[in-house]
Structure 1
Amino acid sequence: MHITPILKQLRDQCPSLANRVVVGIDPQTPPTSPSQPTPVAYVAVIADLASKNTAQNAFRQTIRDRFEVTLLLDATDAALALDQLQRLRAELWRALVGFKPGGDYDAIEYDGGELVSINASRVLYRLRFFAEFQLGRNRSSEPAETWHERELDGLPSFTGVTVRVDAIDPADPNLKRPGPDGRLELTFSGDVKQ
Structure 2
Amino acid sequence: MKMTPLVTQLRAQCPTLGNRITVGIDVAALQADAALQIPCASITSLADAANNSTSQNLTTQPIRDRFEIVLALDASDATKALDLLHDLRAELWRALVGFKPDKDYSAIAYDGGELVSINSSRAFYRLRFFAEFQLGRNLPSQPAESWHERELDGLSSFTGATVRVDAIDPADPNLKRPGPDGRVEMTFSGDVTP
Find the residue that maps to 2:47 and give its secondary structure. Answer: strand
**2:30·2:36 contact (CA, 8 Å) conserved in 1?**
no
| Residue 21 in structure 1 maps to residue 24 in structure 2 | no
Q: Normalising to structure 2: TM-score of the pair?
A: 0.97
**1:32·1:122 contact (CA, 8 Å) conserved in 2?**
no
CA distance in 2, matches of 1:146, 1:86: 43
Structure 1 residues 102-123: Cα deviation after superposition (integer angstroms, max 9, x where no partner) = 0100000000000000000010
Structure 1 residues 138-175: Cα deviation after superposition (integer angstroms, max 9, x where no partner) = 12111111111110000001111100011111121222
Identity across matched positions, percent: 68
Gaps of 5+ in 2: none
**2:71·2:126 contact (CA, 8 Å) conserved in 1?**
yes
CA drift at 1:137 = 1.0
CA drift at 1:34 = 4.2
Gaps of 5+ in 1: none
Aligned to 2:67: 67
Assess, with a 3 A threshold, how the Cα gap between structure 1 residues 53 and 176 changes in structure 2: closer, same or farther.
farther
CA distance in 1, matches of 2:49, 2:102: 18
Aligned to 2:172: 172
The number of residue pairs the alignment matches comes to 194
Q: Return the letter of the residue paired with 1:182.
A: G
Q: Return the letter of the residue paired with 1:82.
A: L
Find the residue that maps to 1:16 and give its secondary structure. Answer: coil
Q: Return the letter of the residue paired with 1:141.
A: S
CA distance in 1, matches of 2:147, 2:34: 51
CA distance in 2, matches of 1:162, 1:44: 57
Q: Return the letter of the residue paired with 2:4.
A: T
| 1:1-194 correspondence runs (5 A) | 1-194=1-194
Find the residue that maps to 2:30 and give its secondary structure. Answer: coil
CA drift at 1:31 = 3.5
Q: Normalising to structure 1: TM-score of the pair?
A: 0.97
CA drift at 1:25 = 2.4
